[in-house]
Amino acid sequence: MKFSIDRSKFINQTSNVQRAISTKTTIPILTGMKLDLSESGLTITGSNSDISITSFISKDDSENDLKIETTGSIVLPARFFNEIIKKLPGDNFELEVLENNQTLIKSGVSEFTINGLDAVNYPHLPEVETDNQLVLPTDVFKEVVNQTVIAVSTQESRPVLTGVNFLITKEGLTAVATDSHRLSQRRINITSDEDYNLIIPGKSLTELVRTISDSVKEISMSISENQVLFSFDNIMFYSRLLDGRYPETDRLIPEESSTRLTFDSSKLLASVERASLLSHESRNNVIKLEIKAVDKKATLYGNSPEVGTVEEVLDFDNLEGDDLEISFNPDYLKDALRSFGSNTTIEMSFTSPLHPFTLRPVDDRDNFVQLITPVRTF
């Protein structure tokens, strides 16, 4: 195996593949990056127990400046290999696999020899049929992920809650996540000939969104029994699916409310950030919202016995319903408000001090909801 290639183009692709490579794994070869050189180009692969990423560098693209002398495969220690390539002096570099998987890397006046591993022992990628693909606008897909992944659980005691549940029917796609303290649900219109119910790990989705560049306009999604494959540009991103049945979350979302507040999301976020400055110093990390419907007044309170108290009268667009006092974790509310974007008009709806409350964008209330469970303070 021997080739030369443009160094910057190579680094761009390995930075994506690197996301799938873990330094902590029970399978030593997975700490490596697989290079597979064919007559048509170079395929780079990284994998761990959850995700696998491949990136293809085509020989036909002149910008890659890929010159192939002999084909073959090798697995190289990812951390050292990447650092070497980044620090090489020239614009191009040459790589050649010698005897016993030793690999020679040359660029300018620099020459490295590193120990590789036989690619035969590298695990095979999952098999996912790509005949029936869902094609999604990238900006919409990234928005759905960012709006729901904030609510996945970090506790492994209930594995299904560490993922986002995707329900896909002929009517569209519904994505929902909950950690039992908060919930985020988003619906979008897509066309699908088949129904799917899958749970994708939140960590996989986070890495996927980071991998997708702004230039990508569409992303293709292929689903098998225990894997999902996302394809875009020259990248294939595989993720395992979580086993189990996701809880029925629709029944958790209140259909009626006794008190409603309409806010500008940016103004409310700023107020909550100020109120939480002191609550973060408290052991409980709780702030309180007091609503006086008759007086048309809403006030946020935060306190820390060690530091002091904060009180802020809120600026809202509309208030109606009953008086209410409710306490909650301010970090959950901040995450929810950020998911709506800046300067979005949202409606907060309450039923009682001990029941979950919801936030919805006024102009898209049927397709997006955030739910937060209050904290009992007495």
Cβ atoms of residues 103 and 110 within 8 Å: no
Amino acid at 27: I
Among 159, 291, 140, CA closest to 219: 140
- How far apart, in whole angstroms, are the C-alpha atoms of residue 363 and residue 365? 6
Q: So what's the pLDDT on residue 317?
A: 93
Residue 235, strand partner residues = 55, 232
Cβ atoms of residues 138 and 232 within 8 Å: yes
> 138-215+242-250 belongs to which CATH class?
alpha beta
Among 327, 337, 314, CA closest to 287: 327
Among 126, 145, 125, 131, CA closest to 227: 126
Q: So what's the pLDDT on residue 185?
A: 98
Q: Are the folds of 2-121 and 138-215+242-250 the same?
A: yes
Q: 2-121 maps to which CATH number? A: 3.10.150.10
Largest CA distance in the chain: 84
- How far apart, in whole angstroms, are the C-alpha atoms of residue 110 and residue 91? 12
Question: Cβ of 186: how many Cβ atoms within 10 Å?
Answer: 23
**Which tokens is 130 given?**
């790509």
Q: So what's the pLDDT on residue 98?
A: 97
- How far apart, in whole angstroms, are the C-alpha atoms of residue 279 and residue 257? 27
What topology is assigned to 254-372 in CATH? Answer: Proliferating Cell Nuclear Antigen (3.70.10)
Among 90, 106, 89, CA closest to 98: 106
Opening angle at CA 308, ends 305 and 309, nearest 5: 105
Question: Cβ of 375: how many Cβ atoms within 10 Å?
Answer: 18
**Which tokens is 201 given?**
């790990």
Q: So what's the pLDDT on residue 42?
A: 98
Cβ atoms of residues 33 and 44 within 8 Å: yes
The full set of domain ranges for the chain reads 2-121, 138-215+242-250, 254-372
Cβ atoms of residues 252 and 258 within 8 Å: no
| CA 107 to mean position of chain CA atoms | 36
Mean pLDDT by 10 residues, the chain (378 residues): 97 94 88 97 95 97 96 96 95 97 96 97 90 90 97 93 96 96 96 92 96 94 94 96 94 93 96 88 85 94 85 94 96 96 95 96 95 88
Q: So what's the pLDDT on residue 378?
A: 57
What is the 3-state composition of the chain as percent helix, strand, coil, each rounded to the nearest 5? 25, 40, 35
Among 152, 149, 202, 157, CA closest to 180: 152
- How far apart, in whole angstroms, are the C-alpha atoms of residue 302 and residue 375? 14
